[in-house]
């Protein structure tokens, strides 16, 4: 997956969040989206993935040599973010079966295998609403990392994880990010150490725009 932004800008009401962002996110690359709280990292992720409309500029997408319409992006996208919820009324097993009907897992992975990878075997019949915040985060990460989707967005991926959880994140990021376009929004270096590219939203016009 490749995303090309040309002169991209996003404004909420009268406030420009970023402006004049021209950048190519190349296939197989991992980019850390950096910037202080409120600088526009999540807004940029949501704009790049077509979930928010840009105010100005253009975005184009390509995958496997083919131009992709923005309407096709949801099928190609795996997304983990603190503001995205999982269905609390389902058990873990029910949720995985429901989720993977819409967002299949990577080849060779099953719901049972994913439960093992998350070390959540004892909680397979527990309601998601009864999960701890760290268990929920591990679940959200696993669903994104192990989805068969070429575009992976991780917004503050170690939110609520303890030391063991952060180590788990590193292990599974290494195992699942090759050949995907990965964007990580973060202020925590150990969340994005694996990214070879860095993009600071405030360098791409946000300061000028304010």
Ligand X SMILES: Nc1ncnc2c1ncn2[C@@H]1O[C@H](COP(=O)(O)OP(=O)(O)OP(=O)(O)O)[C@@H](O)[C@H]1O
Residues near ligand X (CB under 6 A): 12, 17, 35, 37-43
Q: Note the helical H segments in 81-178.
A: 92-102, 111-117, 133-145, 163-176
Q: Which of 7, 1, 76, 77 is nearest to 45 (CA)?
A: 77
Smallest distance from ligand X to CB 73, Å:
19
Minimum distance of ligand X from residue 100's CB (angstroms)? 29
Q: What distance in Å separates the CA atoms of residue 141 and residue 138, rounded to the nearest whole number?
A: 5
- Minimum distance between the CB of residue 158 and ligand X, rounded to whole angstroms? 13
Of residues 37 and 64, the one with the C-beta less far from ligand X: 37
Nearer to ligand X, 143 or 191 (CB): 191
Choose between 39 and 147: whose C-beta lies nearer to ligand X. Answer: 39
H-run or E-run covering 6: strand 2-12
3-state secondary structure of 54: coil
Residue number, 80 or 115, with CB nearest to ligand X: 80
CA dist list (Å): 94 to 128, 188, 196: 10, 33, 37
Shortest gap between Cβ of 164 and ligand X (angstroms)? 24
């Amino acid at each position: 997956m490749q995303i090309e932004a040309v002169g991209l800008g996003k404004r909420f009401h009268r406030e420009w969040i970023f402006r004049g962002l021209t950048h190519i996110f190349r296939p197989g690359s991992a980019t850390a989206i950096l910037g202080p709280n409120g600088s526009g990292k999540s807004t940029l992720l949501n704009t790049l993935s077509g979930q928010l409309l840009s105010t100005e500029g253009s975005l184009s997408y390509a995958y496997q040599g083919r131009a992709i319409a923005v309407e096709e992006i949801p099928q190609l996208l795996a997304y983990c973010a603190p503001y995205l919820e999982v269905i609390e009324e389902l058990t873990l097993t029910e949720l995985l079966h429901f989720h993977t009907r819409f967002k299949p897992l990577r080849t060779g992975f099953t719901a049972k295998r994913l439960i093992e990878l998350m070390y959540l075997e004892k909680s397979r019949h527990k309601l998601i609403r009864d999960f701890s915040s760290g268990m929920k985060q591990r679940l959200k990460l696993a669903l994104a990392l192990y989805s068969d989707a070429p575009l992976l967005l991780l917004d503050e991926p170690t939110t609520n994880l303890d030391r063991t959880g952060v180590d788990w994140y590193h292990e599974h990021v290494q195992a699942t990010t090759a050949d995907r376009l990965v964007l990580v929004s973060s202020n925590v270096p150990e969340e994005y150490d694996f990214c070879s590219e860095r993009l600071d939203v405030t360098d791409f016009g946000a300061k000028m725009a304010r």
